[in-house]
Copies of this chain bind each other. A is one copy, B any other.
Amino acid sequence: MAGNSRFAVSVHILTYLTYRRGAAISSAEIASSVDTNPVVIRRLLAALLKEKLVTAQKGAAGGFELAKGPERISLRDVYRAVEPSPDCGMRHFAPNQDCPVGAKIEAILAAALTKAQAAMEAELARTSVADVHAQLQAVCPNKK
């Protein structure tokens, strides 16, 4: 995980859009729920737009809506949409190529980390935004 809250906030956004489904929701309203600045929300929504997880509508009475059913959006989709390309913790790792160990360990480590990342994403794929929303309703049935 990249040490930021992009993923967590993005799931919050999509869950909120599920909660308020049917209407166009402004970034300001979402920002109030997340307790941050609307621009921060729109930045994340830009990434979700690129992956076609949400739709945007400009102008008065505009806002954001889910582009498909929340049961068809997995946490893995969200992770891939908003998380920068997984450097897998090898950002500043450039060992001495003249050393027998340094020369080849990069590829070996990259393979191990790729497998670990795949395992994490597979677990994320098992939960959808609809699942998160359902859990929310279960503990807090004060809707509608």
Contacts and interface: CB of A to CB of B under 8 A. Distances in A.
Interface stretch (A9-17, A56-64, A65-73): A9-17
Contact of A94 (B1, B4, B35): B35
Contact of A9 (B16, B93, B103, B113): B93
- Taken together, the copies of this chain in the complex come to 2
Nearest to A13: B101
Given A3-B2, A96-B35, A117-B120, A139 B90 contact: no
Q: Of A88, A91, A113, which is in contact with the most chain B CB atoms at under 10 Å from its CB? A: A113
A116 interface: yes
Interface of A: 1-9, 11-12, 15-16, 19, 32-35, 75, 86-96, 99-105, 108-109, 112-113, 115-124, 127, 132, 135-136, 139-140, 142-143
